[in-house]
């Protein structure tokens, strides 16, 4: 067997789901979790309170707790199952229960935020759920796949907890409730948009998985009813998925436009003799990049060059707006530009001082460098019995912590040096090594 065939067989055996799933039990479990009654009513109430409090106090940990206990995912997976097995009654029941949960969540969270006396200046957890991106689509889609596989496998694990955290459902609903309470439509529509994305793609993933895993399809009394039901289900699937795909396309386009615009501004702050001190990016039907410039007014050619440069970043000419505050007509703008240049000058001066300090350190170290080879050659030339010389810088520390920096010289000789020669050699080394240095001379006979 070729290695490529062996690898292919190994991958197929590893990814094989045969004998590890129980779709009948999974379907029964999903059906039992779609209804809004009994414990689910109380669990929903608790999760609404926890999520609202977490968003209100900006606590990520509390919000995660609300994600874990929220029962909203039950009807969403039920809708996916209903579409996957051609069960219109299950689909209708799931949709009805989901709408009830959504309405109750919006009303309860709105009342909470109306009564709460706390208003954060920078509610980052609320803001994080008002601007969904393509990444939220991917998280919801693959989270839905993981969720239905966890429902279907025989040996249960902790996957559903991770899916509940990754595909957040309750926090966006409570954020939408905040938008209603404060009458802030940006928060409301942004959060509902995120919730819709999560719900649609979890349901779509469940639908695809049910088809792929061969969940038992519902049988019909006659072929006419079957065709009518399939037509309705197909229409529902198209109505649900087509807007989601379009929304994903819009999000990708907006995200790319925003990224390109940010890159364009960051890489081209200086424009001729002007400076881009601020900018604003607008998406949607009137998407544009508005540049705020201070400095000398741009002439016609410089404006054309700027438009051409923006085109290299995917920004069209009609999407680029230039707002100038020329220094010759605005003293405040002139001061702003002067302040910018002064800040740059200070930064350059600081860097230059750091470079000079480092250069001085290097020069100092080079000045203290011992010319080992030259001194050794000169010593051997004066004293033929010397065969080698070891020189090293170090420090001597006394018991009373007194420290003396100096140089240790070890002389290797064939014959022992006389006392006179030792004194002469020590004095010569002291002068050769820089004059007044602490020198410890040690001679070793070979």
Contact present, 80 and 202 (Cβ < 8 Å): yes
Cα 366 to the chain's mean position, in Å? 45
Q: In this predicted structure, what is the pLDDT of residue 329?
A: 47
Q: What residues have CB less than 8 Å from 446, skipping those under 6 apart? A: 387, 412, 413, 414
Pairing of strands 270-271, 386-397: unpaired
DSSP 8-state secondary structure symbol assigned to residue 130: S
Task: Please list the pLDDT of the chain residue by residue as tens digits (446 residues).
Answer: 567 677 777 676 666 666 667 777 777 787 877 777 777 788 888 888 888 888 887 777 787 877 777 788 888 888 888 877 877 788 888 888 888 888 888 888 888 888 877 676 566 677 666 667 667 777 888 888 888 887 777 776 666 666 777 677 888 888 888 888 888 887 888 888 888 888 888 888 888 888 777 777 766 556 676 677 667 766 755 665 666 667 677 778 888 888 888 898 888 888 877 888 888 888 877 788 888 887 778 888 888 888 888 888 888 888 888 888 754 445 555 566 666 667 777 778 888 888 888 877 776 655 567 777 888 888 888 888 888 888 877 776 777 777 777 777 888 888 787 888 888 888 888 777 775 556 677 777 76
Q: In angstroms, what CA-CA distances link 434 with 40, 408, 410, 430?
A: 88, 14, 18, 7
Q: What is the dihedral of CA 294, 299, 305, 308, to 10 degrees?
A: 90
269 three-state secondary structure:
coil
Query: For residues 73 and 169, is the Cβ–Cβ distance under 8 A?
Result: yes
- 372-445 carries CATH number 3.30.300.30: yes
Give the SS3 label for residue 293.
strand
Is the full-model pTM beyond 0.95?
A: no
**Residues 438, 395: Cα–Cα separation, whole Å:** 10
The pLDDT of residue 319: 87
Q: What are the backbone dihedrals phi and psi of residue 397, each rounded to the nearest 5 degrees, phi first?
A: -115, 120
How is 202-267 classified by DSSP, letter by letter? HHHHHHHHHHHTTPPPPP-SSHHHHHHHHHHHHHHHHHHHHHHHHHHHHHHHHHHHHHHHHHHHHH
Ordered by start, the domain boundaries in the chain are 3-218, 267-337, 372-445
> What pLDDT is stored for residue 392 in this prediction?
77
Question: What is the spatial distance between Cα 419 and Cα 423, in angstroms, rounded to a whole number?
Answer: 6
| Strand order across the beta sheet in which 288-295 lies | 270-271, 274-282, 288-295, 320-326
How far CA 92 is from CA of 31, 210, 364, in Å, comes to 12, 18, 83
- Integer Cα distance of 316 and 238 in angstroms: 33
Residue 208 to residues 30, 72, 76, 91, Cα–Cα distance (Å): 15, 20, 14, 15
CB atoms within 10 A of CB 268: 14
Nearest to 102 by CA among 228, 206, 199: 199
Q: How far is CA 96 from CA 36, 87, 99, 106, in A?
A: 9, 14, 5, 16
- The set of residues, in sequence order, having a beta carbon less than 8 Å from that of 190 and lying 6+ positions away, is 129, 130, 131, 132, 175, 179
Whole-number Å distance between alpha carbons of 391 and 413:
15
Cα(290)–Cα(427) distance, integer angstroms? 77
pLDDT for the residue numbered 100: 87
Cα 199 to chain centroid distance, Å, stands at 24
């Amino acid at each position: 067997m070729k290695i490529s065939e062996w690898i292919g067989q190994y991958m197929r055996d590893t990814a094989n789901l045969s004998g590890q799933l129980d779709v009948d039990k999974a379907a029964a479990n999903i059906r039992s979790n779609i209804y809004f009654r009994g414990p689910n009513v109380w669990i929903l109430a608790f999760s609404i309170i926890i999520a609202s409090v977490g968003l209100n106090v900006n606590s990520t940990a509390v919000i995660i707790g609300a994600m874990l206990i929220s029962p909203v995912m039950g009807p969403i997976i039920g809708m996916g199952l209903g579409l996957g097995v051609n069960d219109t009654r299950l689909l209708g029941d799931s949709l009805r229960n989901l709408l009830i949960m959504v309405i109750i969540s919006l009303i309860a969270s709105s009342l909470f935020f109306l009564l709460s006396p706390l208003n954060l200046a920078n509610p980052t957890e609320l803001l994080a759920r008002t601007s969904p991106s393509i990444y939220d689509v991917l998280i919801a889609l693959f989270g839905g796949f993981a969720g239905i596989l966890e429902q279907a496998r025989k040996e249960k694990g902790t996957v559903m907890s991770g899916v509940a955290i990754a595909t957040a459902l309750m926090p966006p609903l409570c954020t939408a409730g905040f938008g209603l309470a404060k009458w802030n439509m940006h928060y409301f529509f942004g959060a509902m948009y995120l919730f819709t994305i999560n719900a649609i793609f979890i349901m779509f993933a469940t639908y695809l998985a049910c088809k792929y895993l061969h969940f038992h399809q519902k049988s019909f009394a006659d072929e006419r009813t079957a065709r009518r039901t399939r037509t309705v289900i197909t229409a529902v699937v198209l109505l649900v998925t087509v807007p989601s795909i379009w929304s994903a396309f819009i999000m990708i386009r907006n995200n790319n436009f925003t990224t390109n615009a940010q890159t364009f501004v960051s890489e081209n702050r200086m424009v001729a003799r002007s400076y881009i001190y601020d900018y604003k990016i607008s998406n949607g039907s009137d998407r544009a990049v508005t540049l705020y410039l201070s400095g000398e007014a741009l002439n016609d050619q410089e404006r054309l060059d700027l438009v051409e440069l923006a085109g290299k970043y995917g920004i069209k000419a009609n999407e680029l707006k230039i707002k100038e505050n020329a220094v010759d007509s605005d003293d405040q703008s002139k001061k702003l530009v002067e302040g910018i240049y002064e800040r740059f000058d200070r930064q350059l001066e600081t860097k230059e001082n750091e470079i000079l300090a480092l250069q001085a350190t290097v020069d100092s170290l080079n000045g203290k460098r011992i010319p080992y080879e030259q001194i050794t050659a000169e010593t051997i030339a004066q004293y033929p019995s010397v065969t080698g010389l070891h020189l090293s810088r170090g420090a001597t520390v006394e018991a009373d912590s007194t420290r003396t920096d100096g140089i240790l010289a070890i002389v290797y000789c064939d014959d022992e040096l006389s006392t006179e020669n030792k004194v002469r050699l020590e004095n010569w080394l002291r002068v050769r090594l820089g004059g007044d240095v602490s020198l410890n001379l040690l001679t070793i006979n070979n």
